[in-house]
Amino acid sequence: MTGEALLEVQGLSKFFDGVKALDDFSSVVNRHEIVGLIGPNGAGKTTLFNILTGFLAPDSGQVFFKGTSLVGCPPHGIASLGVSRTFQDLRLIHRLSVLDNLLLSFRDQAGESLGGLFFRWPQCRHQENENTSLALSLLESVGLKEKDGEPTGDLSYGQQKLLSLLCGLASGAELLLLDEPVAGIAPVMIAQLLSVIRGLPNKGRTVMLIEHNIEAVMAICHRVIFMDAGIKVSEGDPVTVRNDPRVIAAYLD
């Protein structure tokens, strides 16, 4: 189910105090794929995400998203281009309501600029109303609609993870980078989250996710990349990678 290349990573390397977090990592993510990134702790997976989203600068290498180079771009710039991410430690604004967190995620809001606020107020109101209906329907699709006015800090951990996934959707990003989307939540919620992720390619999105939960990865990924100590060890469809002797050896170490 592959389309053309959406994200191209070429020869990315990153050192931290002499430790190689990423070593000449290259890969391609194609449109409408769900790619799983697996590997032991410290393999460099989150480092890769941080570089892809502009929070960290690589020591060498290139990243292209739809042909545009991402290296040197600030995080907000990369997000505007259509790359969104979730965080391993689940960043959301706890003090704001569930609905507000979603509304925050929409791109190109006229009401976020001074000019829009004071000179194009009707447009802002209209856009805010539209975004609100969109956000509410997103919440409804996962059964969170009644919680829309609650402070996000009041949601359960699993619900918050679901919300952060919805924020990625609301942003309209073509590429979603999900950092451990189902870690630490109950099986029922895992199933719900996985079904949402599975449906993303049909909505025109592409996903790359980091996970330790191998079953989840097997269930929804079209392709899997295995990393260890900053190096790409194996790549291919889930079954092949799982049975790769190098992967088995790395897990046994």
Partner 1 sequence: MIFSQLVINAIIAGSFYALVAIGFSLIYKTARFFHFAHGSVYTVAAYLCYLCFSLWHLPLLIAFAAAIVGCIVLGVLCELLIYRPLRGRGAGSLELAIASLGIFIILQNTLSLLFGEETKTLFSVEVKEGMMLFGAKITSTQIAIIASALFVLFCGFILLKHTRIGIQLRAVANDPTLAVISGIDRNTVVMMSFALGSGLVAIPSLLLFTEIDVTPTIGLNIFMMSVVVMIIGGIDSIPGVYLGAMFLSFVQTFGTYFSSSKWQEAIAFCLLLLFLLFRPQGFLGRKAGKITL
Partner 2 sequence: MAAKQGKSPFELLGLMEYLLHILILIGIYVILSVSLNLLAGYTGLLSIAHAAFYGVGAYVAALLALRLHSPFLINIFCAVILSGLLGLLVGLPSLRIRDDYFVIATFAFQVITFSVLNNWVSFTGGPMGLPGIPPVSFGGLVLSPKWVFFLLVLLFAVLVLLISWRLVASPFGRVLKAIREDEVFAASLGKDVSYYKVLVFVVGAGIAGIAGVLYAHYISFIDPTSFTVMESIFIISIVIIGGAGNLWGSVIGAVVMVALPELLRFVGLPNVVAANLRQILYGALLVAFMMARPQGLLGEYSFGKGGGR
Inter-residue contact 251 to 64 (CB < 8 Å): no
d(C-alpha 147, C-alpha 136), whole Å:
10
Between helix 157-170 and helix 187-198 the angle, nearest 10°, is: 10
- For 104-128, give the DSSP string: HH-SS-GGGSHHHHHH-HHHHHHHH
Shortest approach of partner 1 to residue 224 CB, angstroms?
Answer: 24
- 44-63 footprint of partner 2 as x/- string (CB under 8 A): ---------x-x--------
- Site membership for partner 2, residue 105 (CB under 8 A): yes
d(C-alpha 113, C-alpha 141), whole Å:
30
Q: In which element (H, E) is residue 13 found?
A: strand 5-16
State which of residues 28, 96, 189, 219 lies at the interface with partner 2 (CB under 8 A).
96
Shortest approach of partner 2 to residue 232 CB, angstroms?
Answer: 25
State which of residues 67, 118, 149, 253 lies at the interface with partner 2 (CB under 8 A).
118
State which of residues 56, 99, 167, 185 lies at the interface with partner 1 (CB under 8 A).
56
In this complex, which beta carbon is closest to partner 1, that of residue 50 or of residue 152? 50
State which of residues 46, 105, 127, 171 lies at the interface with partner 1 (CB under 8 A).
46
Q: Which residues bind partner 1 (CB under 8 A)?
A: 46, 50, 55-56, 87
